Amino acid sequence: MIYLASTSPRRKSLLKEAGICFRILKPDYDENPNLKGTPSCVVQIHAVKKVESCQKKIKSGTILAADTIVYHQGKIIGKPKDMKDAHFILGKLQGRWHLVYTGVAMFWIVSGRLTKKIVFSEKTKVRLKPLTSKGITNYFKKVNPLDKAGAYAIQSSHGGIVEEVKGLFSNAVGLPIELIFKKL
């Protein structure tokens, strides 16, 4: 059995679309926004901590967790604190390239014991369309930015603010499903 250590609707949707049967486990871990390190390292640490917080909840199975951040101009950008922060973040990203990193952790548990562990990250390059302040406000009327790294939803048909993607689209959504298939 595969367990997804996440409450993200985007991750649930990606697994369902891929035809993977799974159950949900709610991680008992809050991401540390002050964690230092490379973007790749930070998302991997968060993903591992999410799996570890769920490890004792099952006897046997594979636990999968992920963490996604945006990286722009040497800074890690997570989820906005509020709408003002979301507007500021999207204002910085609009019309520019940035990187989306997703860290993935998969732990295989047999009879309550960890038997195998895979941790990796993937990076996707994304460019948003140029947006005015009014355009950003209108976009937020259609898409809630508060639970999304970078304050936008790449998969959303509302507003279509993504201009170009280089790399795995699924990774920019929050789960590099093609790589997970290979690892499973």
Q: Per-residue pLDDT for 21 more than 70?
A: yes
Q: pTM of the predicted model, to two decimals? A: 0.93
Instruction: Give SS3 for 166.
Output: strand
Query: Catalytic one among 67, 82, 85, 147?
Result: 67
Inform me whether the pLDDT recorded for 33 exceeds 90: no
State yes or no: is 67 an active-site residue.
yes
pLDDT bin (cut points 50, 70, 90) of residue 160 is confident
Confidence of residue 101 (pLDDT cuts 50, 70, 90): very high
- What is the predicted pLDDT for the residue at 155? 84
CATH no. of 2-183: 3.90.950.10
The answer, yes or no, to whether residue 159 has pLDDT greater than 90, is: no
What pLDDT is stored for residue 165 in this prediction? 95
Partners of 104 in the β-ladder:
66, 120
179: pLDDT strictly greater than 90: yes
State what percent of residues in the chain have pLDDT above 90.
85
**Which DSSP letter does residue 56 get?**
G
Dump the DSSP string for 67-115. Answer: EEEEEETTEEE-S-SSHHHHHHHHHHHTTSEEEEEEEEEEEEEETTEEE
Task: Report how far apart, in Å, the C-alpha atoms of 183 and of each of 29, 105, 177 are.
Answer: 24, 11, 10
Q: Is the pLDDT of residue 156 over 80?
A: no
Q: What is the arithmetic mean of pLDDT over 23-33?
A: 91
